[in-house]
Chains A and B, each alone.
Chain A
Amino acid sequence: MKDFLFVFRGPTPEDLKLSPEDMQASMQKWMAWIQQLNEKGLYGGGDPLLPAGKTVQGKKPVVTDGPFAEGKELVGGYIIVKAETLEEATELASGFPDFQLQGSVEVREIMKMPMPS
């Protein structure tokens, strides 16, 4: 079993101007998806990210406020999912509930190499 990082991108819920009813509908879908992963023992936890942050880059380095990524590009959270192959993991990613809300999932295998003792 390998570990995969699912990186979620998309407009913030604030930007989407969801009504309480919309939020509940979204919640139901997430609950169903995570439960599915949990039942198969494939869910490795996850967290949402606050939209504000800092970017540190360059030789000095320089700190800037950001990221000010475009709505669809902003990373909103991540989860870790277990699967045998990238294909399998990608299949699981198709259950992501926010495609209709301009959301997307990036699926990346977490590199592991057993260290020599």
Chain B
Amino acid sequence: MSSGESPQQLVDHLFRHEAGKMIAVLTRIFGIHNLELVEDTVQETFLKALQVWKYQAVPDNPAGWLMQVARNRTIDLIRRQQKLADISEELSLRLGADTEQVIGQFFLDTEIADSQLRMIFTCCHPALNPEDQVALTLKTVSGFGVSEISKALVSNDATIQKRLYRAKEYIRQHEIRFEIPAGEPLKERLDTVYTILYLLFNEGYNSSKADELIRHDLCAEAMRLCKLLTEHRVGNTPSSFALLSLMCFQASRFDSRMGDDNTIILLEHQDRHGWNQELIRRGYYYLNLSATGDRLSVYHIESAIAAEHCLSPDFASTNWETLLKLYDCLLELKPIPIVQLNRSILLAQLGRLETAIDTILDIPGIAQLLKHHYIYNAVLGELYGRAGNIAEARRLLEKAYELTPSLAEKKLLRDKMDQLA
């Protein structure tokens, strides 16, 4: 070994990604009902590899080597099962030669990708509840440890263990199949997968409580899984590309959203030079790839909205008219209060302040929403402030301040109240 060489670097998150692959392949071989056994086997494999590599050297292709070890262990386990099965020596011999061959097939690259997709689809089974889906995906697909999941989701180990247990129990009791659905069920399942991936992304993007590295990890992982989806014949749909494009656009702003002292920097105040151009470029690339077929998804529209912001060199030059049209489309697919709220902000940007305020007041159930959710108070308060109704503005901003648990949000609201005439 020549001196002065910097130590060999393992690719970021290599072990996590390989663990995810391994769990998928072994689940395909041993069956989803054996998920615990599979997780234990994968853990053992990694631990042994770690121990040996510590003292010798990491092989040139650590990923390949890990898979090899997993494969050999699998063949051993299968052979052991065969021994326990009371079969003739001849059959045993015949199976012996074939076992390696058969098991080997599961470890081909195309089959590994297929198994990973099955795992994603199984974790995102619509009968499981979303938080369980998220936890199970992070554990078995993304290779996160339980503590890593609790840190990422700002929860605790016991809660996460419970979610994992519930999910696995459900899968076992209802004999959920480890497969890629076809036909109509496939469309529905893909929709669930998108929801979970987007949920995952937002946990990383919007959480202000988890630490920055973990939040970054979550966003990156959501994007990685979405990309994995697009690389498979079943997943390379326009909606998959639209979702991936949306994530790229949002991720490009990841670093500009928080100030040093954990203050929130609103879109209008963000330094656009700090937006990651490479991610924006990729956002457009995937947006283009999504512009096919006859199904306009929510992700297409949300991505177009994000693209519009990224296109604009500064806040003032943003094409508010186009954004309003996009929000009109979004509202048709997602007629929910928060979309109405965001649309009203656009109306205000276009100078239609009274209409904006009326739009909010017309939201079905607005009284309850104002009672419990800070964001409606914050936006309505801001608009009243702009309209000159200072008393009402102050009242609403105070209510928002009261309702939000976030220190960063509180600071923002305090600043807005100070700015009121």
A contacts, CB < 8 Å to B: 13-14, 17-24, 26-28, 30-32, 34-35, 38-39, 45-48, 77, 79
Contact = CB atoms under 8 A, between A and B. Distances in A.
Contacts of B177: none
Nearest to B13: A21
A30 B8 CA distance: 11
13 contacts: A19-B145, A19-B146, A21-B16, A27-B10, A27-B15, A28-B9, A30-B53, A35-B1, A38-B1, A39-B4, A45-B55, A48-B51, A77-B54
Given A20-B46, A27-B53, A38-B1, 4 more contacts: A13-B51, A31-B7, A39-B1, A39-B5
A35 to B, nearest CB: 5
B147 interface: yes
A17 B9 contact: no
A78 to B, nearest CB: 9
Contact of B7 (A21, A26, A35, A79): A35
Contacts of B147: 19
B329 to A, nearest CB: 40
B1 A23 contact: no
B55 A79 contact: yes
Contact of B58 (A27, A39, A79): A27
A30 B55 CA distance: 8
B65 to A, nearest CB: 12
Contact of B50 (A13, A21, A45): A13
B114 interface: no
A14 B40 CA distance: 10
B391 interface: no
B229 interface: no
Interface in B140-164: 143-148
A13 B46 CA distance: 10
Interface string B4-45: 110111100111101100000000000000000000000000
Contacts of B53: 27, 30-31
Given A28-B10, A35-B1, A39-B4, A19 B54 contact: no
Residue from B5, B8, B51, B148 having most chain A Cβ neighbours under 10 A: B51
Which of A19, A22, A39 has the most C-beta atoms of chain B within 10 angstroms of its own C-beta? A19
A48 to B, nearest CB: 4
A91 to B, nearest CB: 19
A21 B213 CA distance: 13
A26 B55 CA distance: 12
Given A39-B3, A79-B55, A19 B14 contact: no
B47 A13 contact: yes
B54 A27 contact: yes
A44 B5 CA distance: 19
Contacts of A23: 15, 46-47, 50
B52 interface: yes
A93 to B, nearest CB: 15
Nearest to A76: B51
Task: List 3 tightest A-B contacts by C-beta distance, closest first.
Answer: A19-B145, A20-B15, A24-B15
A45 B7 CA distance: 17
Nearest to B147: A19
Interface string B276-307: 00000000000000000000000000000000
Nearest to B44: A14
Contacts of B8: 31, 35
B51 A77 contact: yes
A39 B116 CA distance: 40
A94 B331 CA distance: 62
Given A20-B18, A21-B144, A24-B10, A48 B4 contact: no
A27 B55 CA distance: 10
A74 B54 CA distance: 17
Nearest to B54: A30
A26 B47 CA distance: 11
A41 B53 CA distance: 19
A20 B4 contact: no
B141 to A, nearest CB: 12
Contacts of B3: 39
A71 B47 CA distance: 17
A31 to B, nearest CB: 5
Contacts of A38: 1
B60 to A, nearest CB: 13
B145 A18 contact: yes
B47 A20 contact: no
Interface in B40-94: 46-47, 50-55, 57-58
A34 B57 CA distance: 9
Contact of A20 (B5, B19, B54, B58): B19
A21 B1 CA distance: 27
